Amino acid sequence: MPTVMEEASSRIRGGHPHARPRISQPLEYSGSLDQYQHQDLTPVIGREYEGLQVGEILQSPQRDQLIQDLAITISTRGVVFLRNQDVTPQQMRYFAERLTLLAGCPESSGLHVHPLTEEGSELGDQISVISSEKQKKGGGLTHQLSDVSRFASAAWHTDISFERVPSDYSMLKIHTLPNTGGDTLWASGYEIYDRLSPEMASFLERLTATHDASFFHDEARRLGNPLRKGIRGSPLNHGEELTAVHPVIRTNPVTGWKSVYVNKGFTKRINGVTKDESDVLLQYLFNLLTQNHDAQVRFKWKKNDMAIWDNRSTWHCATYDYAEARAGDRVCSLGEAPYLDLQSTSRRQALDEA
C-alpha cells in the first residue's frame, strides 16, 4: 500500500494510474469552428459564438471534428457561451459524452452523478437541475455558503473537486430567468498561476491540498435524501467520504498549461505545512482570484443560453441578487485524476512563445 505522501507525489508526476488522460500531448485546433462568428469577451477568459447550435453540430458530417475543436477552445478560453440553444437535456448529455471523449478523458471516466442527486430524479441521474426555487427549500449547492457569508465572492468554486476524479467540463443551460440579475462569473486559473512569482509557483508546485465536501452530509439529511454512495461516474468516485487530495497546481492535458487548483467552495487545507501557513496561502490564492476582475468574465444570461467551461482551469460564481425563479440543466463530465507535469508551461509563456 503506498503511503498518502507517495500516492500524492505519484499524482503530481503522472496522475492516478486508473485515471490518466488518453492523450499524452496537448490537442491541436483544426480551424473547423472558424466558420462561426465569435468574440473573445476579455483578453484572458471567455468566448461567445454566434449561430452555433449544439443540436446542429450533432447532425453535422463534421461532428467529431467540430466537437473536438470546441473542447480545445473551451480549454484554451476557459469558458464558451452559446446563445439561445434549441437542445434537449438528453442531447446535452450525449454532447457532453462526446466532448469529454474527444478531449481525451480516461476510459474509466463518464458523466458525474452528484452525491445529492435523488434516486429516480426527473431527468435521469446525470443531469442536475439547477433551481433557485429548490434552493430556497434548502437544496442548492451553494445554499450553505451564501447563508453564512455576506460576501458574494464566498461562492467561488470549481465543480466537484472533492471527488478523486473531478470534472473536466460542465455544461449549463438556463431556461428560466429573473427579469434582471442572476449573472454568473468565471475566472481563469491559468491567469492566477501567471500572477505568481517563479519562486512562489515552484513552492506551490510541490504541494497538495485536501478538498472536502462533508457539508453535503448535512445537506442530504436536511433534504431527507440519502447521499449517493455508489459509483459517481468513475470507479474511483464512490462511498460516503467526500474528500480528495489534489496537487495545488495542475496541468490541463488539452492545452498543456498550468493552473492553480484550489477553490473557496471545497479546499480546506494545503498539506505538508502548518494549519496557519495553509490558511495564509489559501487566503492569498483566493484573494488573487476574487480581487482580480481582469482575470474574470461576467455573463448575462438570456433564455436558453448555454455555457460550457473547463473545471480544471477556471472557477465560477453564481450571483444571488434576484427573488424570482431561475432554473436550468447541468451536465458535468469527469476528466482525469489531477496531476502536474513539471514540463508543462504557463499560458502566458506558451502564448509568448507562439
Smallest distance, ligand AKG to C-beta of residue 232, A: 15
| Axis crossing angle, helix 63-77 with helix 89-102, rounded to the nearest 10 | 80
CB closer to Fe ion out of 105 and 318: 318
Smallest distance, ligand AKG to C-beta of residue 99, A: 16
Binding-residue total with Fe ion (CB under 5 A)? 1
Report the residue from 98, 173, 330, 347 that binds ligand AKG according to the rule CB under 6 A.
330
Binding-residue total with ligand AKG (CB under 6 A)? 8
Report the residue from 8, 71, 130, 154 that binds ligand AKG according to the rule CB under 6 A.
130
CB closer to Fe ion out of 102 and 141: 141
Report the residue from 159, 194, 219, 329 that binds Fe ion according to the rule CB under 5 A.
159
Smallest distance, ligand AKG to C-beta of residue 64, A: 26
- Does 125 help bind ligand AKG (rule: CB under 6 A)? no
Which among 6-14, 37-45, 152-160, 245-253 is the span making contact with Fe ion, rule CB under 5 A? Answer: 152-160
- 209 C-beta neighbours (distance < 10 Å), count: 27
CB closer to Fe ion out of 11 and 157: 157
CB 247 within 8 A of CB 10: no
- Does 318 help bind ligand AKG (rule: CB under 6 A)? yes
CB closer to Fe ion out of 68 and 259: 259
- Does 316 help bind ligand AKG (rule: CB under 6 A)? yes
Give the x-and-dash track for 150-179 against ligand AKG (CB under 6 A): ---------x----------x-x-------
- Does 336 help bind Fe ion (rule: CB under 5 A)? no
- Does 296 help bind ligand AKG (rule: CB under 6 A)? no
Interacting residues toward Fe ion by CB under 5 A:
159
Interacting residues toward ligand AKG by CB under 6 A:
130, 159, 170, 172, 184, 316, 318, 330
